[in-house]
Amino acid sequence: MIPPEIVVFLIAMSPIIELRGAIPIALKIYHLPLWSAYLFSVLGNLVPLILIILFLDPVSRFFSEKSHLLKKFIDWIFIRVRRKSQTRIKNLGEDLAVIALIATPIPFVGGWTGAILAFIFGMSFKRALPLVITGAFLAGAIVVILTLGISSFLK
């Protein structure tokens, strides 16, 4: 049998559920202590985010060099996202945008999206890492508060 902490850690690594689902599962299904649910969820969420900001740039460059079609697609994504987000992000600031995107506890927005946005903005690993960590810690705190608040409301 897999320990519940490992299950929570793995759930938090997933691209759709992330820690937004891992914390409620840890608290309500596995009945883990709050500190354990938070810790394993945030750490599990950070693993793929760090890998994204560390390896997405070299991997995309590698594939761009190997395929003209992939290069055109990647360039199209960069141009499109930067153009669409330029005015919105300038008001907020790139750093705050990455943190806010990671910390926002709504479906299809979260850690993976924020880490990919840091890559699209061309942030270095050194610049993106503290933003990703801050966003994940905030997301975990927000989800804990929401989980505990909703469950106490339902009682």
Q: What's the confidence (pLDDT) of residue 85?
A: 65
Do residues 8 and 44 touch, judged by C-beta distance below 8 A? yes
**Cα–Cα distance for residue pair 128/97, rounded to 1 Å:** 11
pLDDT at residue 19 greater than cutoff 80: yes
Q: Running DSSP on this structure, what letter comes out for residue 16?
A: T
Total domains, the chain? 1
pLDDT, residue 141, reads 96
Asked whether the beta carbons of 30 and 116 are under 8 A apart, the reply is no
In a 3-state reduction of DSSP, which class is residue 30? coil
Measured distance between the N- and C-terminal CA atoms of the chain, rounded to whole angstroms: 31
- Which amino acid makes up residue 73? F
Does residue 4 register a pLDDT over 90? yes
> Residue 69 belongs to what domain range?
4-154
Contact 38, 144 (CB under 8 A): yes
Q: Examine the pLDDT at 155 and tell me if it is beyond 80.
A: no
Q: In this structure, are residues 22 and 44 in contact, taking their beta carbons and an 8 Å threshold?
A: yes
Do 72 and 63 form a contact (C-beta atoms < 8 A)?
A: no
Dump pLDDT digits (tens) for 47-84: 999 999 999 999 988 888 888 888 888 888 777 776 76
Three-class SS string for 94-144? Answer: HHHHHHHHHHCCCCCCCHHHHHHHHHHCCCCHHHHHHHHHHHHHHHHHHHH
Other residues' Cβ atoms within 10 Å of the Cβ of residue 29: 11
Taking the model in full, what pTM does it have? 0.87
